[in-house]
Amino acid sequence: MAKAVLFDMDGVLAFTEQFYNQRRVDYLAEHDLFLDEVPDFSGSDDAAMWEALIPDDAGRRRRLHAGYEEYSRAHPTPWAAVANPQAATTFGLLRRRGIRVAICSSSPRALVDELVVALDLEGLVDCTMSGYDFSEFKPSPEIYLRTMGGLGVSADQSIVVEDSPIGIAAGKRSGALVCALRPPAGVRLDQSGADVIIDHLMDVVPLAMSGRVPRQ
């Protein structure tokens, strides 16, 4: 039986990526920077995203990035609409079985805290970690390794739940069993690097208990 399950946030506990991707595109359009398509930055960190969006003008990138923070406050994450409805139930089932629960996200600490409150996860999570707490973002395994250390568990006692190729790579590098949550319809992600792919978040409970995913 696993002793800990470490969850990514975006794309796992809340389906935020499409909202964030579109919000960035809408913001840039207001500043006369038009993109041919909505880029998918699933699993990426903030600095890498903005370098990809505005690669050749560091000054403009800094100005737009700073302005986007205010734009984001005016267009907050619609947690009720994007939340994974199985998050609280899954956390509760794991905790009742003595399995520790952590959230390990590349998102800023403020967003992780917002999600915990919005999804009623307070009291159901042992540890929350932001990529900004560490020297390297995913695909570095640092966030997972440090979280396991804080929980007092080893990699072979842990399951990492991810969705994006970047997050899956981080989980694999940590040495844990990596479980990928299949993305919503219309979202394409290469999840071939995961050990297991599940359709529903609650499928991680029997996986943590016995190493098997129930037949659908």
Q: What is the pLDDT of residues 152-201, one digit of tens each?
A: 999 999 999 999 999 999 999 999 999 999 998 878 899 999 999 999 99
Single pTM value for the model? 0.87
User: What pLDDT is attached to residue 136?
Assistant: 93
Structure tokens at 94: 């794991």
Domain residue spans of the chain: 4-15+80-210, 16-74
CATH of domain 4-15+80-210: 3.40.50.1000
Q: 113: closest CA among 129, 135, 91? A: 129
Mean pLDDT of the chain: 92
Cα gap 61→56, rounded to integer Å: 9
How does pLDDT run across 24-58, given as a tens digit for each residue? Answer: 999 999 999 998 877 778 777 788 889 989 998 99
Instruction: Evaluate if residue 212 carries a pLDDT over 80.
Output: no
User: What pLDDT is attached to residue 216?
Assistant: 44
Structure tokens at 199: 């359709």
